[in-house]
Structure 1
Amino acid sequence: MINRRHTLAGLLAAAALPVTGLHAQTGGALAFPYYSGEDALQGLYAQHLPPLARDFETQAKALTAAARQHCAGPAAPAALKDAWRRALLSWQTLSSPALGPVIERRSQRQIDFWPTRPALLAKALARAPQTLADMESVGTPAKGFPAMEQLLAAPPSPAHCPYLVLVAEGIEAEAVALRTGFDALAARDWTSDEDAARSAFAEWINQWLGGLERLRWAHIEQPVQKARTAGKGHAPEFARLAPADNAAEWRAQWQALRTQARLSAAQRAQPPQPGQGLVPIEALLMGKGQIALAQRWGQALDRADAAIAALPAKAGEKELMALSKTLKGVTTLFQTEVAATLDVPLGFSDADGD
């Protein structure tokens, strides 16, 4: 979302201020401390993201094991598809929004490029790669989660199994690299480099918006609009083949974004303390004394929550466009008020990881 080569102006403050004595009243006895940008980064990179990266690594390893077991003898694809689904949802939870090594490694392109290109996948199968080194010459539209899903949906073929295992191993290798990258960020002292902290904070705020728009536009509305443009008889082409998998993925993406944006019930009862956990965007607003904006922000997020929860199993165009409109309300409030209140300029670049 932002150009990593340029430092973006803005942070919650020019320097990390002590939290003692700096509290925003919420209208009652409960008060929120002021959070510096370094506090937010510490909670995000040291507390919140490392467990998600470890879970993705675990699920990716399980996917490889399931692929090998599936290919060891005749077996229905159900167990492997379940492992694929668990790894996919863990991946979406980690990568929504794309941050740190997910951007640097362009992981979304490496293991989740869609739509899959059948001709490229057929060409890759014909070449019969034997190792991950061989897979380096295979284009990304023929690898990753989408390619595995396509092969599992196709009639079984002897050529599929070795390739399925290699695709799973590629996802696992990426998961290991991401976990290593997030572990390194977890140990970082954000107070030691003000410019780096300022840039990283601005990146988070920008990437959060990018993650929301990726969900709202790229995953939901754009496929609907393309189908409408194509004319009668054309169904939307979403990222996944099954409606249930699309819905589950959308909910996973939204929940990951919401967690970074909205106070949990426990945090509303006991405000997060700097250095002790994730500081959501709502908490940053509360800590700056922007109580009314924080309330409107929470309400916008809750409306999106309700809309996604109410989405039917086989949602039609009408329901999906209504959901996109609700999510657009969150986007608009973020763009017009929230980011400015956090002193972060919004911008776009090719460094969005997708």
Structure 2
Amino acid sequence: MRAVVPLAALLLACLPPAAGAAAPAPYVQPSQWLTALAQQRLAPGYTTLAGRVDALAEALDAACAGQPEAAAAARERWREAALSLRALSPLPFGPVLETRVLRRIDFWPTRPAQIERSIAQYAAKPQDTARIGLSARGLPAIEYLLFDAGRASLAEDAAACRYTAWLAHDAAAAVHETAAAWPAWVDGLAEADAERDAQLIRDGINILIGSTEVLRLKYLEKPLRHRAGPPETDAWRSGAGRAALTAYFDGLRVGLQGGEGLYGLTAVMRGRGLLVLADRLDTQITATAAALAALPEDFGAEAARPAAEALMTELGRLQRLLAEDVADAMKVTVGFGESDGD
């Protein structure tokens, strides 16, 4: 006998959703999240970065050839490349980890003594670059050579100029290698099964926890709290320190929240019914962004200490929320390693 459906139930089924009722969040697989992130942010971002490092190398070549105004152009090209890099560095997914590009182009804090020794080493044997360590390479090393007020300008130091130009070409080669690897990595995500998706969410959450820790500890707490004398923060020589912090946080926020037409971790969470927790994460991200917005340009100054401490506090809360509540709700074991850029 066919079941009889009450008339009231039929009428209710035909009614539109109640005003203000939220539509159910779509179920977003980790592979969908990272595919969107790679296609819309990371792949084009590394292509842009490659072009900007190429432009930096060209400007440095011109400076070493004695062209007027080339050094000023090189400094501007450095700022453009450095901020592009800083927006990408909190999202070391896929080819970024496979090529270890951040270790090669973003070693920080800089080590001036090692950079100076490497200038002499390169001048003596320019074909023997394999022995030049990572601590003397990359964009932070180029910043030291372009902007440090305590050393001779590149126009006055031909050996340093040639070395700086080589550093830019070396960084460009590394970035181009990574930029070319994105299509194959994205294609692999299309074939992700349940086991692969589980690994992707574990890696993704751990990377975001680790990047939050890097911003709080490496770029703020260590230089501000644990140095005698004036703090040497990221990009302090070029005057781009606060802009670098902002670019890093903006990149981290994309991984956490996505953007227009772009999934973030919160979309993955909402698809699993973690609506309240995703809202809490959104609220904490907003609080952290507000603390960053209140940070003065000269955030290493003593007068800026309360604002810097407030930002570190909010970043600590964000990290704990990710490492404890989010990881637990998503059944992820926390075990992120060291920053890929250190």
TM category (shorter chain) comes to 0.7 to 0.9
SS in 2 for 1:128: helix
2:231 aligned to which of 224, 229, 236: 236
Q: Distance in 1 between matches of 2:311 and 2:219?
A: 12
Q: By how many angstroms is 1:353 displaced?
A: 5.3
Q: Distance in 1 between matches of 2:226 and 2:29?
A: 43
Change (3 A) 1:183 1:57: farther
1:108 is aligned to 2:105? no
* Alpha-carbon displacement from aligned partner over 1:285-334 (angstroms, at most 9, x marks no partner): 22122222111111100011111112111123332122111111111111
Change (3 A) 1:105 1:131: farther
Q: Given that residues 142 and 167 in structure 2 are in contact (C-alpha distance below 8 angstroms), is that contact kept between their aligned partners in structure 1?
A: yes
SS in 1 for 2:169: helix
- Counterpart residue number, 2:13: none
Change (3 A) 1:219 1:164: same
- Counterpart residue number, 1:329: 317
Q: By how many angstroms is 1:98 displaced?
A: 1.7
- Counterpart residue number, 1:185: 185
SS in 2 for 1:188: helix
2:288 aligned to which of 293, 296, 304: 304
Q: Distance in 2 between matches of 1:194 and 1:288?
A: 15
Which amino acid letter does the alignment assign opposite residue 80 of structure 2?
R
Q: Given that residues 50 and 186 in structure 1 are in contact (C-alpha distance below 8 angstroms), is that contact kept between their aligned partners in structure 2?
A: no
* Alpha-carbon displacement from aligned partner over 1:220-251 (angstroms, at most 9, x marks no partner): 11112212xx4xxx122222233731111111
- Counterpart residue number, 1:347: 335
Q: Distance in 1 between matches of 2:241 and 2:146?
A: 16
Change (3 A) 1:281 1:130: farther
* Alpha-carbon displacement from aligned partner over 1:246-302 (angstroms, at most 9, x marks no partner): 1111111100010111254x4xxxxx5xxxxx3111112221222221111111000
Q: How does 1:35-50 map to 2 (within 5 A)?
A: 35-50=28-43
Q: Given that residues 26 and 286 in structure 1 are in contact (C-alpha distance below 8 angstroms), is that contact kept between their aligned partners in structure 2?
A: no
Q: Which aligned runs of 4 or more in structure 1 are off by greater than 4 angstroms? A: 129-133, 350-353
Q: Given that residues 111 and 136 in structure 2 are in contact (C-alpha distance below 8 angstroms), is that contact kept between their aligned partners in structure 1?
A: yes
SS in 1 for 2:25: strand
- Counterpart residue number, 2:140: 146
Q: Distance in 1 between matches of 2:224 and 2:123?
A: 36
1:78 aligned to which of 72, 75, 79: 72
Q: Distance in 2 between matches of 1:182 and 1:353?
A: 19
Q: Distance in 1 between matches of 2:310 and 2:329?
A: 28
SS in 1 for 2:207: helix
1:254 is aligned to 2:249? yes
Q: Given that residues 105 and 353 in structure 1 are in contact (C-alpha distance below 8 angstroms), is that contact kept between their aligned partners in structure 2?
A: no
Bigger Rg, which one? 2
1:88 is aligned to 2:101? no
1:295 is aligned to 2:259? no
Q: Which moved more, 1:81-90 or 1:118-127?
A: 118-127
Q: Give the alignment's TM-score, normalised by structure 1.
A: 0.81
Change (3 A) 1:291 1:189: closer
Q: By how many angstroms is 1:197 displaced?
A: 3.4
Q: How does 1:209-224 map to 2 (within 5 A)?
A: 209-224=209-224
Q: Give the alignment's TM-score, normalised by structure 2.
A: 0.84
* Alpha-carbon displacement from aligned partner over 1:88-119 (angstroms, at most 9, x marks no partner): 11112222122222222322221111222222
Q: Which moved more, 1:335-344 or 1:122-131?
A: 122-131
SS in 1 for 2:239: helix
Q: Distance in 2 between matches of 1:78 and 1:144?
A: 19
Q: Distance in 2 between matches of 1:217 and 1:206?
A: 16
Q: Distance in 2 between matches of 1:27 and 1:53?
A: 41
Gaps of 5+ in 1: 1-24, 267-271, 273-277
SS in 2 for 1:136: coil
Which amino acid letter does the alignment assign opposite residue 152 of structure 2?
P
1:285 is aligned to 2:269? yes
Q: By how many angstroms is 1:27 displaced?
A: 5.9
Q: Distance in 2 between matches of 1:198 and 1:250?
A: 31
Q: Distance in 1 between matches of 2:131 and 2:44?
A: 32
Gaps of 5+ in 2: 1-17
Q: Given that residues 213 and 319 in structure 2 are in contact (C-alpha distance below 8 angstroms), is that contact kept between their aligned partners in structure 1?
A: yes
- Counterpart residue number, 2:14: none
Which amino acid letter does the alignment assign opposite residue 66 of structure 1?
A
SS in 2 for 1:224: helix
1:55 is aligned to 2:52? no
Which amino acid letter does the alignment assign opposite residue 245 of structure 1?
A
1:28 aligned to which of 21, 29, 36: 21
Which structure has the higher relative contact order (CA within 8 Å, separation 6+)?
Answer: 1
Q: Given that residues 243 and 314 in structure 1 are in contact (C-alpha distance below 8 angstroms), is that contact kept between their aligned partners in structure 2?
A: no
Change (3 A) 1:164 1:312: same
Which amino acid letter does the alignment assign opposite residue 318 of structure 1?
P
